């Protein structure tokens, strides 16, 4: 992407053209700068005899920054809710009424941590390091993490947890040999059917978050070179 074809949103300041080399490594010092529409540019003299510093509009800065920092957390929270729903469905099918907290705690914590870690490692970090410049790839990765890690993984995790509780408290007759696989497939079928909407919703939400992150990443590429005085002023 060359500077001659920049979107009007990325209009260069009067001090000089904006450079945007391909696959630029985006540092934290750069992305912490306000990510908003800076056209038209506004200036203010800080002191007599000093060059004007850029004053960015404050509207939308906090919201954009929080979305980039906490987008994976939002997806992880949805994964935790999916785990609690799957846990409740398996408990009803297997008639498990004991150890409610014991089964609910890992079903909320593990999907949350796994989803946040996977999204950060597969989407957020590659964007910040400049290793992924494809918007379609970013959206696909986010959608897959949302549906598989944030939706399907909690269902798979709830099966052995509640199966072990059912065997321990003998709430349902469990096969010991022969048709074990068929039994668990039959138990999981209604859960998968009821959780299908959650899987689709998680996939759509993951795709949305990743698309927003890629948009923010493109804006970061068009930020002017970091200036210590400007960074100190904007903070």
38 and 61 Cβ atoms separated by less than 8 Å: no
Say which residue the tokens 């070179």 belong to.
225
Please state, in angstroms and rounded to a whole number, the distance separating the CA atoms of residues 201 and 194. Answer: 13
Return left, alpha or beta for 48; rule: phi > 0 is left, psi -120 to 50 is alpha, else beta: beta
**Does position 118 have pLDDT exceeding 90, yes or no?**
yes
81 and 195 Cβ atoms separated by less than 8 Å: no
Residue-range domain boundaries for the chain: 69-219
Please state, in angstroms and rounded to a whole number, the distance separating the CA atoms of residues 16 and 12. Answer: 7
What tokens appear for 117 in the block?
A: 């870690």
H or E segment and range at residue 112? helix 100-119
Beta-carbon contacts of 192 under 8 Å, excluding residues fewer than 6 positions away, are: 155
Q: Which pLDDT tens digit goes with each residue over 33-88?
A: 444 444 333 333 344 444 333 334 444 445 666 777 888 999 999 999 999 999 99
Nearest 5°: phi and psi at 155? -65, -45
Please state, in angstroms and rounded to a whole number, the distance separating the CA atoms of residues 63 and 68. Answer: 9
pLDDT given for residue 180 in this prediction: 86
Beta-carbon contacts of 72 under 8 Å, excluding residues fewer than 6 positions away, are: 115, 116, 119, 120, 123, 124, 209
Burial 186-218 (b: 16+ CB within 10 A, else e): ebbeebeeebeebbebbbebbbbbbbbbbbbbb
pLDDT given for residue 40 in this prediction: 37
Average pLDDT over residues 162-167: 92
Helix ranges (DSSP H) in 42-121: 61-93, 100-119
What tokens appear for 116 in the block?
A: 């946040």
pLDDT given for residue 86 in this prediction: 96
- Of 46, 81, 27, which Cα lies nearest the Cα of 217? 27
Q: Which pLDDT tens digit goes with each residue over 165-214?
A: 999 998 888 887 778 888 899 999 999 999 999 999 999 999 999 999 99
What tokens appear for 14 in the block?
A: 């009067």
């Amino acid at each position: 992407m060359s500077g001659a074809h920049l979107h009007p949103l990325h209009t260069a300041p009067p001090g000089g053209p904006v450079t945007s080399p391909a696959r630029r490594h985006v540092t934290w010092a750069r992305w912490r700068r306000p990510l908003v529409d800076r056209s038209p540019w506004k200036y203010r003299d800080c002191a007599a005899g000093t060059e004007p510093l850029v004053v960015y509009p404050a509207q939308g800065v906090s919201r954009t920054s929080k979305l980039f920092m906490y987008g994976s957390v939002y997806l992880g929270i949805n994964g935790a809710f999916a785990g609690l729903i799957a846990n409740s469905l398996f408990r009803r099918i297997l008639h498990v009424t004991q150890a409610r907290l014991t089964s609910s705690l890992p079903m909320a914590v593990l999907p949350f941590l796994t989803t946040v870690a996977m999204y950060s490692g597969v989407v957020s970090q590659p964007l910040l390091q400049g290793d992924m410049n494809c918007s379609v790839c970013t959206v696909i990765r986010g959608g897959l993490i949302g549906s598989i890690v944030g939706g399907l993984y909690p269902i798979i995790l709830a099966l052995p947890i509640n199966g072990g509780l059912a065997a321990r408290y003998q709430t349902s007759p469990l096969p010991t040999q022969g048709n074990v696989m068929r039994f668990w497939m039959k138990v999981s079928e209604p859960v998968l059917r009821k959780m299908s909407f959650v899987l689709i919703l998680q996939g759509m939400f993951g795709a949305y978050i990743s698309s927003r992150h890629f948009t923010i990443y493109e804006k970061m590429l068009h930020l002017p070179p970091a200036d210590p005085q400007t960074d100190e002023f904007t903070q």
